[in-house]
Chain A
Amino acid sequence: MLDSRYKHIFLLPALLALVAIIIFPLIYTVRLSLSGWDVNFPELDYIGWDNYARAIADGRFWDSMGTLYLMVLFCVVFEYLLGFALALMLWKEVTAGRFFRVLFIVPMCVTPVVMAVVWRTIFHETLGPMNDVLGWFGIPAVPWLSKSGPAFAAVIIIDVWQWTSFMFILLLAGLMSLPREPYEAAQIDGAGPIRTFVHVTFPLMAPITLGALIIRLIESSKLMETIYALTSGGPGSSTETTSYLLYIRGLREFQIGYTASLSIIYLAIMIIALTIFARSMSRLMIGRQGPVRA
């Protein structure tokens, strides 16, 4: 470690920026959640815990949370399985490997909401190619955006299309950083490809896998933009995620105080859920000593 009087010059600007742009607004949100600020009464009064009491009884809010978690679960599981499979296939020297790698990371780079606009034309029931292609295989047209089940599936398909690439690149980077010696040892011990994967690759990848899963869980729980462009939360409220509901309540209906309380509850639940997930997964995958530090 270096030692200098100058050291604060490096850290402080960013830290202050972060406090100003994130922490202060967060505290302000807490204060807002205790007020009755809305369209008719835009002031920072104090109404105690009323908003929170109302939030607890708000079925639509809890439904949106359920929708979100179900979506996130499907998305992250598919993305992990597909991403890991693709990474394993492109890990070693492969003909045209670079071509596939470049292609496979394109989706994570492009604007989700713009792609959702394109996907909307693809999922169009009569004019879109999705049903057309399904028709080639004799599958009857699916009412993609007008029935709740298919709409839910459509959101997941888009998310998997977009973010499998992210899992892929994280896991590929992880695979490429693995040490060589365990593989040589496995080879000397006469382990076949499947045993090598189960006993060497998978355990070695555990910390990276865990990191990748957590990153994706965090990012996918913000799911809102695709839904905004694709289904507007419908049909009914079958694809309405928490972020989308917060947007509607807060910046469409201007129930500022109430939405602030929903935000706080949502944030608290998310942090707790992520912590529990991270703890239990690291125990499950890596054993009790916790993740290996790089």
Chain B
Amino acid sequence: MSTLEPVRERVRGVAMTGLRADLYRVLKYAALIAWAIFVVAPFLWALSTSFKSDPGVVGGATYIPFLEYEPTVDGWTALFRDTSSGGISMQGPYLSSLVVSLISTAIALFLGTLAAYGLSRFTFRAGPLGNNDITFFFISQRIMPPAVLAIPYFLLLRFTGLLDTHLGLILVYVAMLLPIVVWVMVDFFNTVPIELDEAALIDGCNPIQAFYRIILPNCAPGMVVATLLCIIFSWSDFFFALTLTFAKVQLLPPTIVILNSNKVPWWSLSASALVSVLPLVIIAFVLERYLARGTLAGVIRE
């Protein structure tokens, strides 16, 4: 997979002919459509529910508006109303989530890209450990379950007064995202020939200029993938947000889960779930472009 000059899609495998091929096609599309329905079903259910009111819910499952229930926009307007007027006011958590995930993504991207470039281009030695070991050390942090880290984080943030602050959460997210960035970017940098760096160094760049003027622009697809993955992971985190913030900082996922246990009506619950995943669905569309190109293939081969 060359990221610089994408190879045209090639056809592999052995073709079947005749009746068997037709049968295979029919079965294949049936399977694909079945899975597609399974995938969209929860979203459609939530969408339908978000326009319901009491009668549409309490009588058992209903699906089609106008036909089975009278749609209202109550669930959606509740997102902007205060709790005093029966709403769930999601603007605050939404903004918090946006700020925290964007800032932590930016920091992780900055640190992780530099590290990945270093690991791809220079030889590092720490005793018996070399570049591959250091790379593995970064990536292996993904093994750590959040539940294990939550206790020391809780205590450390309390000591430093960062408990229940945006900054505290951002620091934790940076740690969570760094391995992802290093993982994706080391592989990307490895696909860019080192002669480009050397040409840049001879042309008059110092190593840092060679990095950001020559190599980085050629790794744009990798940066996009890393950025999107970071946003997905930080936007979707629930555990750290739950355990390290309470009152002052409220992010989307814990807010919605708490609504769930507070017996908030299904329609506003569904609406809030939909708005909170909407940016991620959009990201999925962009991500597909890059992932399906084979961007990840080298990364997985460890």
Q: Is B145 an interface residue (CB 8 A)?
A: yes
Rounded to whole angstroms, the CA-CA distance of A250 and B146 in the bound complex is 12
Q: Please state if B238 and A225 are interface contacts (CB–CB under 8 Å).
A: yes
- Give the chain A neighbours of B257 by CB distance below 8 A: 113-114, 117, 228-229
Given contacts A115-B42, A215-B300, contact A92 B12 (CB under 8 A): yes
Contact with B along A89-118 (1 / 0, CB 8 A): 111111000101111111111111111011
Given contacts A126-B60, A191-B14, contact A256 B292 (CB under 8 A): no
- CB-contact partner of A113 in B256, B292, B295, under 8 A: B256
Given contacts A1-B121, A1-B123, A122-B45, contact A14 B298 (CB under 8 A): no
User: What is the count of residue pairs linking A and B with beta-carbon distances less than 8 angstroms?
Assistant: 322
- CB-contact partner of B174 in A17, A218, A219, under 8 A: A17
Give chain B nearest CB distance to A123 CB in angstroms. 11
Which A169-200 residues have C-beta < 8 A from chain B? 169-170, 172-174, 176-178, 180, 183, 186-187, 191-193, 196
Q: Please state if A115 and B277 are interface contacts (CB–CB under 8 Å).
A: yes
Q: Please state if B301 and A29 are interface contacts (CB–CB under 8 Å).
A: no
- CB-contact partner of A11 in B31, B114, B208, B232, under 8 A: B114
Rounded to whole angstroms, the CA-CA distance of A225 and B243 in the bound complex is 12
Rounded to whole angstroms, the CA-CA distance of A110 and B260 in the bound complex is 18
Apart from the given pairs A256-B151, A294-B298, 10 other A-B contacts in the complex at a CB distance below 8 Å: A1-B122, A32-B152, A103-B36, A120-B260, A174-B300, A207-B301, A250-B147, A267-B148, A293-B301, A294-B297
Can you list 6 residue pairs at the A/B interface with Cβ under 8 Å?
Answer: A29-B151, A32-B152, A176-B297, A186-B14, A228-B257, A247-B239
Residues of A within 8 A of B (CB): 1-4, 6-11, 13-15, 17-18, 21-22, 25-26, 28-29, 32, 82, 85-86, 89-94, 98, 100-115, 117-122, 126-129, 131-133, 161, 165, 169-170, 172-174, 176-178, 180, 183, 186-187, 191-193, 196, 201, 207-208, 211-212, 214-215, 218-219, 221-222, 224-225, 228-229, 242-244, 246-247, 250-251, 256, 259-260, 263, 266-267, 270-271, 274, 291-294
